Amino acid sequence: MHRGMFLQIVLTIFAAQTTYAGFILEPRHGGHDNDHDIHPVNNYTYAGPTGPLGWAGLNSQYGACSTSDVQSPINLDSSINLSPSPPTVKIGGGLPWGTTTYEGKEYKLEQFHFHTPSEHLIESEYFPMEVHFVHKAADNSSLALGALFELTMDGSTTDLLTVLTKSLKKIYRAGSVTETGPLDFKPIERFFHTTPFYNYVGSLTAPPCTSGLTWLVAKRPLPINVPTFLAFKSLLKFNARYPQNAPGQTNLIKLAAKELPR
């Protein structure tokens, strides 16, 4: 991204007003006033009756969450192939100009967001945090670049997080909108150009859980130090969907329903 470019940070707190969905980052559309700019609030959470086990009952469009046999996140193990060809990532162009080209198709970066803890597992190991860069192509197909974060012993952290952390304290209520400082995506871009990726077809990890999403998840984690992680965790709370069955295998909710006493 050009260093003078700014983004909006949008925090969504769901209906119960006690569970943070997290925040998404989108292009700025004109000026704003933090006291008046409110982003729409979703109706699902990550715990209790409105959590993942109950998503399908909240809206008729969420049915795939409990019925689709192609769902995300998953445990990334030796059964999941590494991508045979690396993507060409140009998110250094920022939003909405960033692109990722994969297998000859160009996808435009729409937004990115974070989860604590990680949603994907690598060889059954979870990580403190995960970022998803969500893209869409001209034919309406979608691709997500994912990267997990690991705590560091030496205090090093990903530069992008350092800038974002300064804006987190400006998020104070459901749907609050604020602006970040200039964001430099070049280090993230270089990371994606030098790491292998797990590749599989899955779904959105939140309602409506639409399947057919191409996932590229970095095999190597990004660094995050403890203060930065604590700042994100205090805002995001718990916003991770539980690991799903392997792609093509029966949806775990359907499996569980079969085991209920008759």
Per-residue pLDDT tens digits for 7-34 = 555 544 333 333 334 566 666 555 444 4
- What CATH number belongs to 7-252? 3.10.200.10
CA separation for the pair 129, 224 (Å, rounded) = 9
Residues of the chain with pLDDT under 50: 1-5, 11-21, 31-36
Question: Where in the chain are the domains?
Answer: 7-252
CA separation for the pair 241, 97 (Å, rounded) = 29
CA separation for the pair 126, 158 (Å, rounded) = 19
Alpha-carbon 176 to chain mean position: 19
List all residues 6 or more positions away from 256 whose beta carbon is below 8 Å from its beta carbon: none
For 117-136, write each residue's pLDDT tens digit. 999 999 999 999 999 999 99
- Identify the pLDDT of residue 1: 36
| Spatial CA neighbour of 131 closest among 213, 229, 45 | 229
Would you say 146 and 130 are in contact if contact means Cβ atoms under 8 Å apart? Answer: yes
CB neighbours of residue 14 within 10 Å = 20
